Structure 1
Amino acid sequence: MPATPAWPPKSAPRLFVPGPLHAGQEMALDGPQAHYLARVMRVAPGDAVILCDDLTGEWAAGVTDAGKRDVGLRVEERLREREQVPDFTLCAALLKKDRFDLVLEKAAELGVRRIQPVLTRRCVADKLNLERARAIVTEAAEQCARTALPELAAPIPLAQLLRGWPSERLLFFADEAGGTPASAAFSADPGPAALLVGPEGGFDDAERETIRAMGQARPISLGPRILRGETASIAAIALWMGMVGDWAK
């Protein structure tokens, strides 16, 4: 006798929706989400969709109606509670659009809790479309099966970031001038932390001196090669997650 297929199937599309969700709830999705389900995934009544609300966790839902403009869903059961996200913030200087898009996407996939874009003297870009950036972060979280969305803040100047820095949070500073090897620094201070990464041209001397003068700052080295801003962010996040984050559990 053939085995009963698992429900919902692992291939079911995933979406973040407003919450809180609960069993028995009925809803209709429209706009880009409806287009994705109906036109791209071609769902039909009875098909499964995975929903996350960034509040209560992950839920299985069944399609009740798949029209041209909206898709009806009925929430069936909770599959997972909202995940406990490691307390790690990425403070990344703005880069050219395509490169910063990559930072946003990979930071979400790698599991950061918060993303704080930063404006420095050598930033090539000085603006960020927050609506577009949040869409990139959300799509990345859906793709990698996160149940919690990273917080995404509006860009702020470096001076403002440093001036309001909390006394209890370490700031690992990816300094191209050198510092403690990142692996050793992360192991020595495994608590709530943040990573500060500079722009294409790096930090200027005055910025570097100001950062290093902070008691919470920990200058770190990411190896013998000069890394692009997006590479430095991705590499350092992965290393932190592997050593003291949720990859190590």
Structure 2
Amino acid sequence: MSSTGQKCHVSCNGRCWGPKEDQCQTLTKTVCAEQCDGRCFGPWVSNCCHRECAGGCSGPKDTDCFACTNFNDSGACVTQCPQPHVYNPTTFQLESNPRAKYTYGAFCVKKCPHNFVVDHSSCVRACPSNKMEVENDRIKMCIACTDICPKACDGIGTASLQSAQTVDSSNIDKFTNCTKINGNLVFLITGIKGDVYHNIEALDPEKLNVFRTVREITGFLNIQSWPENMTDLSVFSNLATIGGRALYR
């Protein structure tokens, strides 16, 4: 019986994916020679599957696997995808590999999908925290940051902080490691001293040190209230640009 409930073709011996003759299931031999590690297509030593096969095979080659243990490189099961550089034993140097491919899931690909970035030799959804995304020859890739990695964050009244009116104890952690604020930074008395009506506690002045990484604000900086025990604005010592794309009204 097939997976759809239809009768198998007589040549399938009762095991199939559908009713047609070419939809028979191919079963791996379960009794293998000891050297085959349980994966073979016949009882003899010469019938072992390739070591990169997972589950079974139809022949001895890495292209005969039903599934790959590691990666699929254009139909061949491999331990790893062709790396960006190969070692030249004559010159004792690493050289660019013209056959290089990127790891994308369980497959080796020549190009990562447009919505992925390259991290070393793999396609990833986003760069790790110690790397930043750059574009080189129309290829988006991750490179190590020499200092604090650039990180753009929403400002007050923008996107994820659309409903916020001020920096306060409920949202200040969203500015951790931000180097650029897309929008504005606003400090009102309800943010600094707390807002009883909205059940928001007073802001711990030490938390304001989170802004020491900020280098750019695309909108404006509006400070109407500030902790009494802080006599300067040194938390903005690295702020170099206030874009003024939006003006305070």
Greater share of residues in strand: 1
TM-score range for the pair, normalised by the shorter chain length:
under 0.3
TM-score by length of 1: 0.23
TM-score by length of 2: 0.23
Higher relative contact order (CA 8 A, sep 6+): 1
